[in-house]
Chain A
Amino acid sequence: MNDSVYDGLLGGDSSQWAFGTDFEDPLAGVDTSVPAGIDAAELAAYCLMLGDDTLVLSQRLSEWCSRAPELEEDIALANMALDLLGQARLLLARAAAADPACVPSLPAGSPVPDEDALAFFRDAGQFRNVRMAEVPNGDFAHVVVRLLLFSNARLAILSRLRDSADAVLAAVAAKGVKELTYHRDWAGRWFVTCAQGTEESRRRLIDALGMLWPLYDELFAAHPVERSLAAAGAGVDPETVRAEADVVLDQVFAVADVPRPPLVGVRGRTGRDGLHTEALSLMLAEMQVVARAHPSGRW
């Protein structure tokens, strides 16, 4: 370590820095042709569903930054937000590559990449994420419960998606399985700790479960696009992993000695149809404000 690190800012060899140019396109060098027998528009819609889940939940997790109960948990939450953001970038880029028609149009010559056009220039009704991902943050018990419920379901889906006929989705899933395994482990440990810690922590955990449980059923409600992609061997029908996910969840509930609430799903159309809670458009208003003010901006 010497002073020359600072001197090296101007010119010199930029290959030593990770933030060079190749980080800009998340799918650089990847074959993104759509396999035979798969409808490109459906594949794109499916990638948006999974990608919006991770983008929106990542945004909620990142709101915890500098607010966690201990530094170690601040770092852990940022890690999980970064994992989900990384998945979102790949999935949105995959959607755009499969079906360029799904990308919002921007002023001619705009340098905004497709993944950002999708993230920052769609309105709430065009987002396809499950509502579990978008509801506002609560206390620490809330983020623990949300992560446990979401990561347990998503891990089951990604485990199967590793065999997707679409090589890009299979690769995203392979990477995601490692990440989601950690998320579920982190959430499971804190779920038990809160349940078995103090009276207050147990009360807060059960309150958070009460808030989030009505959105649990939606994690497994199959949209026609999911069914169709599953039939073509490229996607996973979430209904088919419900039992497997339940087994794990029941184990965590048993260790925590928390009774599993009866299943009540929120009725009507779901996030996959573009029907959201009031929270999403507020969240997007904040997330998209700078990007939308500079539709020809270079970042």
Chain B
Amino acid sequence: MTTTPMPPTEAALQASFDATIAHHDRIEPRDWMPEGYRKTLIRQIAQHAHSEIIGMQPEGNWISRAPSLRRKAILLAKVQDEAGHGLYLYSACETLGVSRAELVELLLAGKQKYSSIFNYPTLSYADVGTIGWLVDGAAICNQVPLCRTSYGPYGRAMIRICKEESFHQRQGYELLMTMMRGTDEQRAMVQESVDRFWWPSLMMFGPPDDASPNSEQSMAWGVKRNSNDELRQKFVDMTVPQAEALGVTLPDPDLRWNAERGHHDFGEPDWAELTAVIRGNGPCNAQRMAHRRAAHENGAWVREAATAFAARTAQEAQR
């Protein structure tokens, strides 16, 4: 007599999943997971991947005008890294059962988002440095905890990405340091750039905790490890001494050390602006999407040619 083993019940699967999360172990692609967890991860990883790809544009804007060959090489390599990050993240997302092509369609249809910071324009070469220092710096604060996120492929992608991002941050800061040792015009350029990017950088941590709709469940699932406000505070505390060493002023009259809290107090970002930018009304939303859509559409015939050529080659190999 043979017995067919009974498939585990949904309750048993859920219990096993919960135990994995409780032990801070990794969930892997072939493990059972609740649908909500899968959907949350797809949303978050896709948004992260899209951010890398859209994020190529603001800095890419200055590759053609980089003021030295060394800076041109650094910037081009950096923007190329962002494309690489997009690739790992789309691959991590594909382990959840969705294809890169589908995710790109969702982005182009406006059904998935990317980081709002990339909807701000880059207006001088100093912005290349400021993006490295503040924007990549804020991204690192957000992303380092994700190296310990509960979903294995995402966490492992983040380890590599964080290493490269910290390198990017270093190059941005080094560019600003170099410019500050240059002419008066260059110093003014750096200050003007920091003035523009400071508040949008603080907004990169998302809305305040009491207004962040997805945070609680993501924390419970171990997808997210720290709250928005905790990370924002950490970023401010780290950045203030760096700004002093650089010789720039952060544009916040309320910024001061609070010895009692052991942290810096700082002003409130303009949350209405963040909401507007997320809803599509930032300075560059339409431009960024049009650029991505044009690249995608202009490349359609190439992707079709590659597919047709691969099919023909496979057919000939069979004969």
Residues of A with Cβ closer than 8 Å to B?
1-3, 5-7, 9-10, 17-19, 23-24, 55, 59, 62-63, 65-75, 78-79, 81-82, 85-86, 88-89, 92, 111-113, 115-116, 119-120, 139-140, 192-194, 196-198, 200-201, 204, 286-287, 289-291, 294, 296-299
Contact = CB atoms under 8 A, between A and B. Distances in A.
Contacts of A289: 65
A17 B245 CA distance: 19
B83 A6 contact: no
Given A197-B308, A298-B186, A299-B178, A82 B77 contact: yes
A289 B65 CA distance: 7
Interface of B: 53, 56-57, 60, 63-74, 76-77, 79-80, 83-84, 86-87, 90, 125, 137, 140-141, 144, 147, 159, 162-163, 166-167, 169-171, 173-175, 178-179, 181-183, 185-186, 238, 241-242, 245, 291, 294-295, 298-306, 308-309, 312
**Interface residues of chain A: helix, strand, loop or mixed (majority):** helix
B244 to A, nearest CB: 9
Nearest to A203: B301
Contacts of B72: 62, 85
A201 B170 contact: no
Nearest to A60: B64
Given A66-B57, A89-B69, A5 B64 contact: no
Contacts of A55: 69
Contacts of B304: 197-198, 200-201
B109 to A, nearest CB: 19
B295 to A, nearest CB: 5
A194 B303 CA distance: 10
B295 A67 contact: yes
A193 B309 CA distance: 6
A286 B65 contact: yes
B141 A286 contact: no
A5 B125 contact: no
A7 B294 CA distance: 40
A66 B68 contact: no
B80 A75 contact: yes
A66 B295 contact: yes
B73 A86 contact: yes
Nearest to B100: A71
Given A66-B60, A196-B312, A296-B183, A204 B301 contact: yes
Contacts of B63: 62-63, 65
Contact of B166 (A6, A86, A113, A120): A6
A270 to B, nearest CB: 25
B194 to A, nearest CB: 15
Given A6-B166, A69-B300, A88-B69, 20 more contacts: A5-B140, A10-B242, A18-B167, A19-B171, A69-B295, A75-B80, A81-B76, A82-B76, A86-B73, A115-B69, A116-B69, A116-B70, A192-B309, A194-B302, A196-B312, A197-B309, A198-B301, A204-B301, A291-B68, A299-B67
Given A82-B73, A297-B183, A5 B178 contact: no
Contact of A79 (B67, B80, B299): B80
B306 A298 contact: no
B66 A290 contact: yes
B301 A299 contact: no
Given A68-B299, A69-B303, A24 B70 contact: yes
A139 B84 contact: no
A81 B76 CA distance: 8
19 contacts: A1-B147, A3-B144, A5-B140, A7-B238, A66-B56, A67-B291, A82-B73, A88-B69, A119-B69, A140-B299, A140-B302, A193-B305, A197-B305, A197-B306, A290-B65, A297-B67, A298-B179, A298-B183, A299-B179
A66 B83 CA distance: 8
Given A1-B162, A299-B68, A6 B141 contact: yes
A89 B73 contact: yes
A70 B166 CA distance: 26
B156 to A, nearest CB: 10
B305 A10 contact: no
Contacts of B185: 294, 297
Given A17-B167, A69-B299, A299-B175, A290 B309 contact: no
A287 B64 contact: yes
Contacts of A2: 144
Given A19-B74, A197-B306, A200-B301, A290 B242 contact: no
Given A201-B302, A204-B301, A17 B64 contact: no
A261 to B, nearest CB: 21
A10 B245 contact: yes
Closest 6 CB pairs of A and B: A69-B299, A197-B305, A201-B305, A298-B182, A69-B302, A78-B80
A294 B309 CA distance: 50
A125 to B, nearest CB: 21
A89 B56 CA distance: 24
B169 A65 contact: no
Given A81-B76, A85-B76, A69 B298 contact: yes
